């Protein structure tokens, strides 16, 4: 089995203005320190990307945008390109978050277009997938996830896919306080790794990091990270507090 370095990612969503984001970045930088055995990433709002990147220089904390557009330039009012994100100092970008799918019309096709653009710009894409509560109740979890993986990653070479991170976020668990049981999480993550192996290649599947997201806290992170196919976490609300997020990052201690 390939060795996969865990990634702990914090999605700040629509929280913290520029000043608050910079202050929080300095707090995190101090709390986490320069020595960590996991990769760490935070995703501020678009308006705070550049100052947060500047604040986190010299630290092990990477910065991601929460979304992006697939075109590099043109008459696309209000959109942000991968190149613009990269120019701020970002190294990562979140693509296909369930809130983008649910409220802003994101589809597997647009996820695929954004993914290709992100890779061309040299960004590490964190591609979100997950089933709704209704889909879960109808027994469609694996069908939905298989489609999201195959359509979202369609047309990419093995070299391109090597840097892709998957993030499984059951929609019914995001911000609800409900976390999938460890058995459920492991079952889904093992299925996702097999889906990648079947449609792409086994070596790539073994190397690909698959994160779990959905009401992750300092109190449940160690149990989740003990699962064989969980390679990190995409954290929402708990990433907005220094003590909480640094506790998640240092789950081994």
Tell me whether residue 236 is annotated as binding: yes
Place of tokens 């609300």: 237
Tell me whether residue 122 is annotated as binding: no
Tell me whether residue 11 is annotated as binding: yes
Note the helical H segments in 56-97: 82-87
Strands 210-213 and 61-65, bridge-based pairing: unpaired
Taking only the tens place, the pLDDT of each residue in 75-131 is 999 999 999 999 999 999 999 999 999 999 999 999 999 999 999 999 999 999 999
| The model's pTM | 0.95
Residue in 109, 46, 52, 108 with CA at minimum distance from that of residue 82: 46
Both tokens of residue 206?
A: 């073994």
Identify the residue with better confidence: 1 or 113.
113
Taking only the tens place, the pLDDT of each residue in 53-82 is 999 999 999 999 999 999 999 999 999 999
- Mean pLDDT for 150-169 is 92
Confidence of residue 203 (pLDDT cuts 50, 70, 90): confident
Element (H, E) at 112: helix 108-120
What class is the 7-249 domain?
Answer: alpha beta
| pLDDT score of 1 | 46
CB 99 within 8 A of CB 54: no
Place of tokens 């008459």: 75
Confidence of residue 253 (pLDDT cuts 50, 70, 90): low
Residues taking part in catalysis = 97, 169
What does pLDDT average to over the chain?
Answer: 93
Tell me whether residue 172 is annotated as binding: no
Confidence of residue 171 (pLDDT cuts 50, 70, 90): confident
* Separation between Cα atoms, residue 68 and residue 86, nearest integer Å: 11
Tell me whether residue 29 is annotated as binding: no
């Amino acid at each position: 089995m390939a060795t996969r370095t865990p990634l702990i990612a914090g999605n700040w969503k629509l929280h913290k203005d520029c000043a608050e984001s910079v202050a929080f970045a300095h707090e995190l930088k101090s709390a986490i320190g320069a020595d960590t055995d996991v990769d760490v990433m935070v995703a501020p709002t678009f308006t705070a990307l550049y100052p947060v990147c500047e604040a986190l220089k010299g630290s092990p904390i990477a910065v991601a945008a929460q979304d992006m557009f697939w075109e590099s330039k043109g008459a696309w009012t209000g959109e942000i390109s991968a190149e613009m994100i990269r120019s701020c100092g970002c190294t990562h970008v979140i693509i296909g978050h369930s809130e983008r799918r649910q409220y802003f019309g994101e589809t597997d096709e647009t996820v695929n277009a954004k993914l290709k653009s992100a890779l061309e710009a040299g960004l590490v894409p964190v591609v979100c997938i997950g089933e709704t509560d209704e889909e879960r109740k109808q027994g469609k979890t694996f069908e939905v996830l298989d489609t999201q993986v195959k359509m979202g990653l369609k047309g990419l070479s093995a070299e391109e896919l090597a840097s892709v991170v998957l993030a499984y976020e059951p929609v019914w668990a995001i911000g609800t306080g409900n976390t999938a049981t460890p058995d459920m999480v492991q079952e889904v993550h093992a299925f996702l790794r097999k889906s990648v192996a079947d449609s792409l290649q086994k070596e790539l599947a073994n190397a690909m990091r698959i994160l779990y997201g959905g009401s992750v806290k300092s109190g449940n992170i160690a149990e989740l990270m003990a699962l064989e196919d969980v390679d990190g976490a995409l954290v929402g609300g708990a990433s907005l507090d220094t003590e909480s997020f640094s506790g998640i990052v240092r789950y081994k201690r």
